[in-house]
A and B are shown apart, each in its own frame.
Chain A
Amino acid sequence: MMENAWLIPLIPLFSSVILLIFGKQLRESAAYIGILAVLVSFICSVIVLVERIDAPTYKQEIVWLVTGEVNITAGFEVTALNTLLLVMVSLVSCLVQIYSKGYMEGEKRFSIFYTYLGFFTFAMLGLVLSPNLLQLYFFWELVGLGSFLLIGFYFYKKEAKEAAKKAFIMTRIGDLGLLIAIILLFWKTGSFDFQEIFSSIGAGEISGGMLTLIALLLFAGAVGKSGQFPLHSWLPDAMEGPTPVSALIHAATMVAAGVYLVAVTFPIFSASSTAMETVAVIGGFTAIFAASIALVQKDIKRILAYSTISQLGYMMLALGTAGYTAGIFHLLTHAFFKALLFLAAGSIIHAIHTQDIYKMGGLWKKMRLTSPLFLIGALSISGVPLLSGFFSKDEILVSAWVNGNFLLFWIAMITAFLTSFYVFRLFFLIFTGQPKTEVVSKESPFSMVLPMGILGILAVCSGYIQTPWFGSYLGEFLVKGNKFLLVPAHSEGPAWIMAAAAVFSLSGILLAYLIYVKQTISRNFLIKEGSFINTTLINKYFIDETYYFTVGKTVKGLALFCSYIERFVIGGFEWAVTGTIRSLGSAGARLQSGQVQVYGVAVFAGLAVLVIIYALTGGLIR
């Protein structure tokens, strides 16, 4: 199967094309085609993963374009990291497509939705299989297109339109960094190919400063895609898309592409300590920054979006502190529990048609299946012991500690506390207390509950692939045979970290319980309502406003400046030229007086001048 791995992305693309052409006739049975295609992809991915466990990396390429003396190639590669992501992406995509069948029921553009989902899945799987940076960039932009189309799915809504545009443009700013990094790497190493680039770096062919610059530019791409500060603000707005899309693209897969990029180009980063520190600091800062915003928001999807940003920050922090395995591990577990949370949120929104958590309440009894599944997701993301999030977060904390970056370690610890607090604030406000809105339908249909159930199981169990107790299977699988990856399969840290992390996370839950259920502590305990901090947090630190008044105004100003040049400088010049010619013309017309004597004089004068010039120079032009 490994030599046919290229089929894995193409199957969803094929279904997407079929649906684009025949969607109108197929109506809601479009879902079956989409689901079937991605299911086949998933099964193939699992086969490839199993084969890869005992086999070396497989790679196959063709010439894509000859430019100068260089053959630019395209192909695919099956590495340890690839296969894991193939399975994760195809699985989550498959589950989300099953879920969407129920969620999107009655939607007029049902088949279009599946067309887009298929296209996105194709692009994401293609991204993962890319053996070189140019091809990665190729699919990198295509997932951006998929994301754009799906955010703007409700195109008639103004917010959706703006959000789609914002997402595409903001990520493109980061992508520009990535593109420049790719070009610079090409001129330094003569190749786009990962293996060749790593060999060149290993041989020390690139100077330290250049390497740092390249790594930082690469990271700019990751920052844009993974919603890291300062290019994060598109991600919460992207929640305008349908909820299954938020689960698939803006929680589990595409936004993790930035983390994947850093992981896949890890040898470049690890060759520059400045770059590594930047990644760690940006990651750590984003983690706590986004978590703090999530504390006070009231839209269920936006809270989850900020939570995603924060968790992606964790992953970056892990990679930046050389916790390669930890970053990937958290990427996988996060995909499961965050997709679960989003799908459960979608199930709630589906039932009560609001996203405002202050209008929810008392849903525990009404939604007998969604509620415990949401709880599993919440416990897992909070890092409650024995669930998947607990193990992956622990791995990150350990790697930060081992790396010796204690400030970042404690930031990560506090973020763990904030995380469990805001997630359980969400949980208690939605599920406990008195119902505030009429529940339209009770529980969601089977097609929606089934995927949530599967994700629930994964959110509980997936942590056991890498534990300090049973063994670090994941780490060994990732590191084995990868000669460019100089990291341990597992970081050994002091045992108290695990205990401390558990305490921090449980105390967050306890605090949320006391405030929102028992109400023994006032809601103003942490942050006073109406205070400066509160307003700042509710307004997300005024980041969007700042961008509007700086970047937005600058661009507008430059554009106006250009139009003034056009109108006055160029226009003025045109006016001057035509004016001169016109006046010359009218002067010339006056010369044409009809007096033959005057003409004769002019002719002789002209001739005389020519003769003199000729005599002096012996020919004018040489």
Chain B
Amino acid sequence: MTFLLSVLVFSPILGILLLLLTSKQHESNLKMFGFIGTVPPLLVSLILYQYYASGASLADFTIKNNWIRFGNLSQYDAKLFTVDYELAIDGFSLVLVLMTALLTSLAAFASHSIKKEWKGYFVLLLFLEIGMLGVFTAQNLVLFFLFFELTLISAFFLVGKWGFAEKEKAAYSFLLYNGIGSAILLIVIMILFARAGTTNIQALTHIITIGGVPTIAPISATMKYALLVGLVAAFAIKLPIFPMHRWMVMVHVEAPTPIVMLHAGVLLKIGAYGMIRFGMGIFPEQFKSVAIYLAVLGVINFLYGAFMAFIQTDFKRVLAYSSISHMGVVLIGLGSLQAAGVQGAVFQVVSHGLIAALLFYLVGIIQEKTDTSLISDLGGLAKTVPRLSGWLLAGSFASLGLPGMSGFVSEFLAFLGLFKSEPWLAAIGSIGIVMTAVYMLRAVLDITFGKEKEKYEHLTDLNWLQQIPAGILLLLIVSIGVYPSLLGEPLQRTLDAIMIGIGR
């Protein structure tokens, strides 16, 4: 059984081989193989879910092989300064893996709109998928970092080559900001490795929280704080947290929309994942004392993103700031240090992934049909393309946290948590709940409602094939919203472990 995770992570290679063997002129074949390449990981992740649902223990899938050994220290301790190839999965990872595999398939499907050099595009897309799947299953920080960098590099080229007008600028901005984050992350990892002699997450958690294990060099209390702050800072850029968000707006606007689906849907979530797994997981004590700052930053993100989204003229920018705002909810939940809040944060990670993917999928179609995403250029689309408008309206209501959809559950839980720990801060932040409705309805109603514009009279509506991705995403959003235990159950164990860690 242990091979399954390796198969999961590296199965996109099949697709890559298939693509490499195809002539680069063969557009339709390339697009087909690109999509087919994303199917094996999806199938494997569904098989994993099936195992989980039938009651099997996810621990059975853990794989651990010797990989790199630094120095010749095995005479003292066989594990000292080794980096193993180790993958494992728990409920939290499983959910994220499922989401990644699904969104990649949908993005590959939406990549129909890519106009050139399909071969390179799909190869990079599949590399990106390997990176993302690896990030969520890696069990030591070095391996995590390698997969993390893989996502960075593939995304850089995908944005820089296949994006819109200012794609190069956006790609460099993406690379620079994330490069800084990676550098900080690498320093943290190396310090931990040098001092503890391992980067295995479980081992580190044990060493930092419980102690009692002799380490190569001591890790002082101050050092622990510094390491946590470094980790949080590194992942804050990825999430992104105000004021380090400008690169992300650029990427959202300039990147090809299938890539934005993945970027908003999965890549941003790596920031949240890292904060929860490594920040809260490895440094619970220290995390507790910085939690209040995170909560404040979360409220700032939530409100700042909402107000910025309110005055944007480009719908993609509205959605970009909306993502910033919604990532604030993750911070609000984590910063509350309450079981409900942390649960809300994790829910938000999944929920926003689905909702953002849905909205960007639709924006991509609008842009393809009308050649614009400027709100003032659009208008009255509900008349000519009622189905597209209907999906868009549904997506926007999901985004503004309508009950019955996943966004409500996560927002509610996050605020439930924050109202317990910091009621005043929560009260200020809750203004954002109204603002979300204000900016979302302003943008979406200006696009769909009102008088139809002559130039859009002959637009064709979505066909049934194009509705499938939107349907799948909305189905998941509604399922989680109506019966959140669907998501709550797999996450329960991970959440319990975290809450025990921070002593609540």
Decide if A179 touches B433 in the complex (CB within 8 Å): yes
Q: Which A residues touch B488, using CB under 8 A? A: 65-67
CB distance from B152 to the nearest CB of A (A): 20
Decide if B404 touches A138 in the complex (CB within 8 Å): yes
CB distance from A245 to the nearest CB of B (A): 16
Q: Within 8 Å of chain A (Cβ to Cβ): is B382?
A: yes
Decide if A68 touches B246 in the complex (CB within 8 Å): no
Smallest CB gap from A158: residue in B: B450
Q: How far is the CA of A142 from the CA of B482 in the complex (A)?
A: 12
Which of A69, A165, A573 neighbours the largest number of chain B CB atoms within 10 Å of its CB? A165
Q: Within 8 Å of chain B (Cβ to Cβ): is A495?
A: no
Smallest CB gap from A149: residue in B: B393
Decide if A67 touches B340 in the complex (CB within 8 Å): yes
Q: How far is the CA of A53 from the CA of B444 in the complex (A)?
A: 48
Decide if A68 touches B338 in the complex (CB within 8 Å): yes
Which of A141, A155, A156, A161 neighbours the largest number of chain B CB atoms within 10 Å of its CB? A155
Q: Which B residues touch A68, using CB under 8 A? A: 338-340, 343, 499
Q: Within 8 Å of chain A (Cβ to Cβ): is B69?
A: no
Q: How far is the CA of A184 from the CA of B423 in the complex (A)?
A: 9
Decide if B404 touches A562 in the complex (CB within 8 Å): no
Q: Within 8 Å of chain A (Cβ to Cβ): is B437?
A: yes
Decide if A570 touches B403 in the complex (CB within 8 Å): no
Smallest CB gap from B415: residue in A: A183
Q: Within 8 Å of chain B (Cβ to Cβ): is A559?
A: yes
Q: How far is the CA of A164 from the CA of B437 in the complex (A)?
A: 12
- B403 contact from A66, A138, A161, Cβ within 8 A: A138
Q: Within 8 Å of chain A (Cβ to Cβ): is B383?
A: yes
Q: Within 8 Å of chain B (Cβ to Cβ): is A558?
A: yes
- B339 contact from A67, A141, A563, A569, Cβ within 8 A: A67
List residues of A (1-42) whose CB comes within 8 Å of B's CBs.
none
- A64 contact from B408, B419, B430, B483, Cβ within 8 A: B483
Q: Which A residues touch B370, using CB under 8 A? A: none
**Per-residue A-contact encoding for B378-421, CB less than 8 Å = 1, 0 else:** 00101100000000000001000011100011001101100110
Q: Within 8 Å of chain B (Cβ to Cβ): is A483?
A: no
Q: Which A residues touch B483, using CB under 8 A? A: 64
Q: Which A residues touch B419, using CB under 8 A? A: 180, 183-184, 187
Decide if B450 touches A161 in the complex (CB within 8 Å): yes
Decide if A164 touches B445 in the complex (CB within 8 Å): yes
List residues of A (538-574) whose CB comes within 8 Å of B's CBs.
555-556, 558-563, 565-566, 569-571, 573-574
B5-13, B25-33, B76-84, B304-312: which lies at the interface = B304-312
Decide if B485 touches A169 in the complex (CB within 8 Å): no
Q: Which A residues touch B485, using CB under 8 A? A: 63-66
- B308 contact from A64, A179, A562, Cβ within 8 A: A562
CB distance from A67 to the nearest CB of B (A): 5
Q: How far is the CA of A316 from the CA of B239 in the complex (A)?
A: 46
Q: How far is the CA of A184 from the CA of B430 in the complex (A)?
A: 13
List residues of A (166-198) whose CB comes within 8 Å of B's CBs.
168-169, 172-173, 176, 179-180, 183-184, 186-187
Q: How far is the CA of A264 from the CA of B243 in the complex (A)?
A: 45
CB distance from A181 to the nearest CB of B (A): 11
- A155 contact from B402, B442, B448, Cβ within 8 A: B448
**Per-residue A-contact encoding for B334-353, CB less than 8 Å = 1, 0 else:** 00001110010000000000
Decide if A161 touches B449 in the complex (CB within 8 Å): yes
Q: Within 8 Å of chain A (Cβ to Cβ): is B120?
A: no
CB distance from A94 to the nearest CB of B (A): 24
**Per-residue B-contact encoding for A366-382, CB less than 8 Å = 1, 0 else:** 00000000000000000
Q: How far is the CA of A561 from the CA of B483 in the complex (A)?
A: 40
Q: Within 8 Å of chain A (Cβ to Cβ): is B451?
A: yes
Enumerate 23 A-B pairs (CB-CB under 8 Å) in ascending A order: A67-B339, A67-B340, A67-B413, A67-B416, A68-B339, A68-B340, A140-B403, A141-B403, A145-B397, A145-B402, A155-B382, A155-B383, A156-B382, A156-B451, A169-B434, A172-B433, A172-B434, A179-B415, A184-B419, A555-B438, A556-B311, A562-B307, A565-B243
Q: Which residues of A contact B (CB under 8 A)?
A: 63-70, 134, 137-142, 145, 152, 155-156, 158, 160-161, 164-165, 168-169, 172-173, 176, 179-180, 183-184, 186-187, 555-556, 558-563, 565-566, 569-571, 573-574, 622
**Beyond A66-B485, A142-B403, A180-B430: 9 further Cβ-contacts under 8 Å?**
A67-B416, A70-B340, A138-B404, A145-B397, A165-B441, A169-B434, A169-B438, A172-B434, A559-B308
Q: Nearest 4 CB-CB pairs, A to B?
A: A68-B339, A161-B449, A138-B403, A155-B449
